[in-house]
């Protein structure tokens, strides 16, 4: 991770994929990928990302039914 300024960091994992995460200072976070596409989410939604990524990485994801709601966080 590289700090670009007080509100922006660049996430690098040794390859070409280095998304930029920016605090928009209005309760939202903006994530921009290498191609210039971006998504803006509420900070509360961004807080749920680690749990979602952990779930996706686990083998348990095959046990869930499509459309079944999970409670994360």
Residue 34: the pLDDT is 85
pLDDT at 52 over 70: yes
Confidence of residue 72 (pLDDT cuts 50, 70, 90): low
DSSP 44-69: HHHTTHHHHHHHHHSGGGGGSPTT--
Residue 12: the pLDDT is 85
Tens of pLDDT, residues 11-51: 987 777 789 999 999 999 999 998 889 999 999 999 999 99
Domain definitions of the chain by residue range? 2-61
Rounded to two decimals, what is the model's pTM? 0.74
Q: How many helices (H) and strands (E) does the chain have?
A: 2, 5
Residue 27: the pLDDT is 97
């Amino acid at each position: 991770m590289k700090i670009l300024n007080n509100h922006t960091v660049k996430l690098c994992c040794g390859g070409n994929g280095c998304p930029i995460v920016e605090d928009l200072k209005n309760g939202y976070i903006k994530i921009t990928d290498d191609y210039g596409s971006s998504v803006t989410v509420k900070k509360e939604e961004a807080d749920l990302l680690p749990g979602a990524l952990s779930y996706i990485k686990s083998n348990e994801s095959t046990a869930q039914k499509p459309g079944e709601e999970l409670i994360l966080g």
